[in-house]
Amino acid sequence: MKTMTYRGYTAEIIYSDEDECFVGDVIDIDDIICFHGDTDEELREAFENVVDLHISVKEQPESPPQKHNIGSFWARLRQAFHL
């Protein structure tokens, strides 16, 4: 497996036979960030673009940091289900 780094982010690269291209996943973050390319140059450009986009979105004040799930699930039930 090949890796590449950019601005402190690391991505793992594999070749996808199904998609017939190289596919990368940014690792060690809470978000899911994937990208692809047919050549090393396309792959590098796609990786840098998604990292730059991710950083710019995280810097916006209306985009607070992700919170981890606390394990609660709330649901409303119809009156017929109440005991």
Choose among 22, 16, 64: nearest CA to 39.
22
* Mean pLDDT over each residue of the chain, to the nearest integer: 85
Catalogue the E-assigned strands of 7-48: 9-16, 21-27, 34-37
pLDDT band at 21 (very low <50, low <70, confident <90, very high): very high
pLDDT at position 61, please? 75
pTM attached to this predicted model: 0.70
Residue 47, token pair as written in the block: 């990786």
Percent of the chain with pLDDT over 90: 61
pLDDT at position 60, please? 80
